[in-house]
Amino acid sequence: MTDSITHLVIDLTFYTLMVFSVLTWTMIFYKIWQFMANNRNNNVFNEAFWNTQNMEQAKRLPDDIFKGTQSHLAYEGLFWLDEYQRLRGKSFKYAGNPNELLEHALRGQLQKEQHTLESGLTLLASIGSTAPFVGLFGTVMGIMHAMHDITASGSTSLDVVAGPIGDALVATAIGIAVAVPAVLAYNFFLRRVKLQRMQLESFVAHFLLVADLPKD
């Protein structure tokens, strides 16, 4: 019974590492696609948006232009300007300095966009930090099982000891092999998120400069 449980635990360890590996590479390919699509959409949107003559013309841009993080900021800003013109003096929500109110709305949307860009990074960080320990756990269980078999065989020769111990160490190697891509991907995508954040901050600042707000 003990051997069966030990084998089950070791098998579960390998299956867990296999799941970790699948999740890691799935997330890596998804994040690559996400950032590439976002950059492409932002470039298309910026080309169209900043070539308009005013906010009214920008509002008439086709809906399929409003893709990507920066377009979502612009959409939020344009929507806020419409609501401000319609409800100014009628809703407490729009009481106060219009520039500060618009900036608050844009930064709220910016936080949402950053959250979207950061999605999946926690998973990569968790796998990167956990996989080596899962592999080490599998190695410990494998060594315990190997020692039990060696004791039962009554032989301590090198060929009897080396094989089972070497097999047990495979779990640690797999754990490290799973963790390395996850950690590298996490660091790479975290850097991309920071660069995207800087671009979003720049867009917010530029939008505030050109926003058609009342002077009173």
Model pLDDT for residues 154-212, shown as the tens digit of each residue: 655 555 555 566 667 888 899 999 999 999 999 999 999 999 999 999 999 999 988 86
Note the Cα 115 to chain centre separation in Å: 8
Instruction: Render each residue's pLDDT in the chain as its tens digit; 216 residues.
Output: 456 776 787 788 889 999 999 999 999 999 999 999 999 999 999 999 999 888 888 888 888 888 899 999 999 999 998 888 888 777 787 777 888 899 999 999 999 999 999 999 999 999 999 999 999 888 888 777 777 766 666 655 555 555 566 667 888 899 999 999 999 999 999 999 999 999 999 999 999 988 866 655
Do 78 and 203 form a contact (C-beta atoms < 8 A)? no
pLDDT at residue 155, as a whole number: 58
- Please give the model's pTM, rounded to 2 decimal places: 0.85
Q: What span, in angstroms and rounded, lies between the C-alpha atoms of 114 and 133?
A: 31
Q: Is 213 exposed, middle or buried (0-12, 13-18, 19+ CB in 10 A)?
A: middle
The predicted structure's pLDDT at residue 191 = 96
Q: Is-contact 37 45, C-beta < 8 A?
A: no
